[in-house]
């Protein structure tokens, strides 16, 4: 065992030294494998490994993956493909980064693209496709796509060409509340927007120290994004998918009466001084409160509800019981207009490839399969797939099941987070800034809308 390793290491030492002497620093990392099938060593896999036969034949290869998912979330991600790695011998070298969104374009432009990247914004995906470095997925990945509702395929496409398969989904249209507190006060979970407004009013008038809503849009340099979610919920819930799509493509402008009306609805809801911002202060404090902190007053009974996505479950302190009878739970935010059928706003992550080496395609194929999605569900709660091939009984967490039900409901009006679809100059630039100013400085709806429209490239 020892001897081969040491001789191997020596050889490894010698080669780079020669390279360095020749001062050819850059070339040593060329990753062109050229294996073209890995030398034909696709021995049949047996036992537990038999199900990975389709991905076999690339043993000893390495695939690099880059994403914004950090530990501990990334630990369960890596766990989800552990068996795949052992059986196929394809090593997935995962790297998570806080600066993923700004670093990926830099790395791609610098010729140092990862083999695979998990991109959470279709806008960024389009940006990457424009660079010409994104490789189209293999046939099997495209076929696996049939298990997702068609709208997802659009989100993984740029100009009609499919590039990236969705990996995960999350649901944004949730309102967090305390079932215990609701029960004690005799409140019922609202089913319609009118119910929601009536309940908010009731809490504001009779709740004593409780205000109906808490909110926070602070998020470091991304400050403002939760406010974009509120506006998106209202636009989708007021007008349905078509107007929403036109809004995303700027056929309907922010200054359009439909959108300014939606902003007015948001203002009546989250900028109502009598309704917000429990535990923190006036309306303006929404701008300085981080979204992570925003929900904590629910636990102390200072506020009743918080609109936040399914991933907010990770923000509750350890030991908080999450469930229909627990300390906190969530309900589906009702549509503003009852005519709109089950509006669901969500997000998701897409797997983009910058290489078409066979082992990279094998990983792509595997990660787009329902088998992988199921194995991911099994290793950790707090992760949901909209892949209809996943057995819903696998979800152990009530929030996950609630989200999965809505996300895989074929009748639901599902739309992707609009700010993630809009060009970055708007979606992660002007809109965040303008909505933050709207909350923080009481800027008018007209000026806010005009500022965002002006930034459209």
Partner 1 sequence: MPTDTRLAGPALHLADSLWQDAAIKFGNTAGAVLGFLGVLLVVFFAAGRATGRFSRPLAIALMLGPAAVLLLTGLVVPLLRTVYLSFYDADSAKFVGGKNYGWAATSSTIHEVLLNTLLWLVVAPVAATGLGLLLAMLVDRMRGQAVYKSLIFMPMAVSLVAASLIFKLLYESRGNGQNQVGLLSQLAVVLGWDDPPNWILSQPLNNFLLMSAMVWVQTGFAMVVLSAAIKAIPDEITEAARLDGATGLRLFLHVTVPMIRTTLVVVLATVMIITLKAFDIVRTMTGGNFGTQVLANEMYSQSFDQYNTGRGSALAVILFLAVAPLVVYNIALLRKERATR
Query: Interface residues with partner 1 (CB under 8 A)?
Result: 4-5, 8-9, 11-21, 23, 25, 28-34, 39, 41, 59-62, 89, 91, 101-102, 105-106, 127, 130, 220-224, 277, 279-282, 284-285, 287-288, 424-425, 428-429, 433, 436-437, 440-441, 457
Q: What is the C-alpha to C-alpha distance for residues 227 and 287, in angstroms, rounded to an integer?
A: 9
Task: State the Cα–Cα distance between residues 120 and 420, nearest whole angstrom.
Answer: 8
Q: How many helices (H) and strands (E) does the chain have?
A: 22, 12
User: What's the closest the beta carbon of residue 387 comes to partner 1, in angstroms?
Assistant: 30
Q: How far is the CB of 280 from partner 1 (least distance, A)?
A: 6
Cα gap 151→139, rounded to integer Å: 19
Judged by CB, which is closer to partner 1: 377, or 440? 440
| Residue (281 or 324) nearer to partner 1, CB | 281
Question: Is the Cβ of residue 25 or residue 411 nearer to partner 1 in the bound state?
Answer: 25
Nearer to partner 1, 128 or 340 (CB): 128
Helix axes 445-454, 431-440, angle to 10 degrees: 160
Chain position carrying tokens 């081969």: 4
- The least CB distance from residue 139 to partner 1, in Å, is 26
Nearer of residues 407 and 430 to partner 1, judged by Cβ: 430
Distance of CA 410 to the CA centre of its chain: 20
**Least separation, in Å, of the C-beta of 241 and partner 1?**
27
CA distance 253 to 250: 5
Contact 130, 378 (CB under 8 A): no
Nearest distance from C-beta of residue 224 to partner 1, angstroms:
8
Interior/surface letters 181-200, b for 16+ CB within 10 angstroms, e for the rest: bbeebebebbeebeebbebb
Whether 291 and 219 have beta carbons less than 8 Å apart is answered as yes
Smallest gap from residue 305 Cβ to partner 1 (A): 19
Nearer to partner 1, 187 or 213 (CB): 213
């Amino acid at each position: 065992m020892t001897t081969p390793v040491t001789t191997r290491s020596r050889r490894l030492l010698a080669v780079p030294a020669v390279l360095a002497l020749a001062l050819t620093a850059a070339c040593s990392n060329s990753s062109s494998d050229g294996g073209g099938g890995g030398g034909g060593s696709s021995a049949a896999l047996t036992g537990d490994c038999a199900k990975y036969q389709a991905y076999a034949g690339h043993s000893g290869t390495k695939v690099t993956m880059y994403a914004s998912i950090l530990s501990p979330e990334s630990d369960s991600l890596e766990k989800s493909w552990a068996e795949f790695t052992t059986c196929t011998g394809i090593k997935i070298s995962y790297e998570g980064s806080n600066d993923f969104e700004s670093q990926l374009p830099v790395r791609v432009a610098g010729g140092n693209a990862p083999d695979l990247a998990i991109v959470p914004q279709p806008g960024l995906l389009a940006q990457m496709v424009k660079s010409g470095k994104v490789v189209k997925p293999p046939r099997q990945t495209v076929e696996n796509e049939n298990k997702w509702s068609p709208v997802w395929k659009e989100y993984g496409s740029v100009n009609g060409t499919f590039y990236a398969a969705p990996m995960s989904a999350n649901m944004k249209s949730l309102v967090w509340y305390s079932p215990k507190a609701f029960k004690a006060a005799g409140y019922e979970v609202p089913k319609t927007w009118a119910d929601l407004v009536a309940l908010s009013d009731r809490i504001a008038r009779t709740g004593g120290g409780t205000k109906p809503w808490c909110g926070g849009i602070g998020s470091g340099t991304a400050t403002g994004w939760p406010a974009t979610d509120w506006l998106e919920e209202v636009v989708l819930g007021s007008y349905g998918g078509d107007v929403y799509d036109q809004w995303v493509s700027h056929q309907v402008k922010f200054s359009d009466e439909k959108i300014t009306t939606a902003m007015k609805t948001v203002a009546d809801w989250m900028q109502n001084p009598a309704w917000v911002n429990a535990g923190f202060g006036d309306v303006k404090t929404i701008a300085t409160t981080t979204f992570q902190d925003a929900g904590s007053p629910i636990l102390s009974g200072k506020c009743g509800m918080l609109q936040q996505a399914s991933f907010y479950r990770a923000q509750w302190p350890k030991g908080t019981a999450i469930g229909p009878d627990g300390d906190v739970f969530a309900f589906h935010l009702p549509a503003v207009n009852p005519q709109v059928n089950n509006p669901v706003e969500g997000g998701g992550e897409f797997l983009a490839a910058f290489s078409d080496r066979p082992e990279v395609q094998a990983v792509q194929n595997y990660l787009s399969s329902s088998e992988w999605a199921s194995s991911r569900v099994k290793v950790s709660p707090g992760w949901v797939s909209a892949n209809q091939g996943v057995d819903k009984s696998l979800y152990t967490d009530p929030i996950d099941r609630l989200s999965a039900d809505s996300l895989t409901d074929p009748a639901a009006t599902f739309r992707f987070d609009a700010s993630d679809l809009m060009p970055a100059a708007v979606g992660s630039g002007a809109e965040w800034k303008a909505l933050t100013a709207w909350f923080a400085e009481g800027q008018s709806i007209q000026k806010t809308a005009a500022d965002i429209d002006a930034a459209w490239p």
